[in-house]
Amino acid sequence: MNHSKLKVMPSEIITTDDLREFKLELFSELKKLLDERHGQPTKKWLKSYEVRKMLGISPGTLQNMRINGTLPFTKMGGILFYDSAEIQKILESNKQKDRFSLSASR
């Protein structure tokens, strides 16, 4: 046995406080990542069934949105793809304000 090639690794004792601190840092980083996403889908391009499910619309409504230019799309190999950022823009632009605000009440 050749001891000259044997490497000694320094050891470190990890306490429960160290683990607790690591957990808090990890949760903080995960929360930051989730907040940056603002609930957007993880995929850049969505298929028709994903868009219908996301918006709660029928195939006919989705087709009408394509035809009238409301929802841009890309077609590749017979499959329609929709940019998730465009869908988020549409959702934001159609957000309804509360018509019965507190300032309107007497």
Q: How far apart are CA 100 and CA 106, in angstroms?
A: 11
Strand, helix or coil at 1? coil
- Indicate whether 38 belongs to any domain: no
Residue 23 Cα distances to 7, 15, 83, angstroms: 31, 13, 35
- Position 28 in a domain: no
What letter would DSSP give residue 18? H
Q: What is the model's pTM? A: 0.53
Q: Is residue 62 part of a domain?
A: yes
* Residue 77 within a domain: yes
- Residue 84 falls within a domain, yes or no? yes
Total domains, the chain: 1
Instruction: Answer whether residue 53 is part of any domain.
Output: yes
End-to-end distance of the chain based on CA atoms, in angstroms?
91
Q: Give percent of the chain above pLDDT 70.
A: 80
CB atoms inside a 10 Å sphere around CB 46: 20
**Sorting pLDDT into bands at 50, 70 and 90, what band is 61?**
very high
Q: Is the dihedral of CA 21, 23, 24, 26 positive or negative?
A: positive
In degrees, rounded to 5, the angle at the alpha carbon of residue 18 between the alpha carbons of residues 13 and 20 is 145
Domain coverage including residue 83: 45-93
**CA–CA gap between residue 69 and residue 73 (Å, rounded):** 9
Is residue 103 situated within a structural domain?
A: no
What is the pLDDT confidence band of residue 76, given thresholds at 50, 70 and 90? Answer: very high
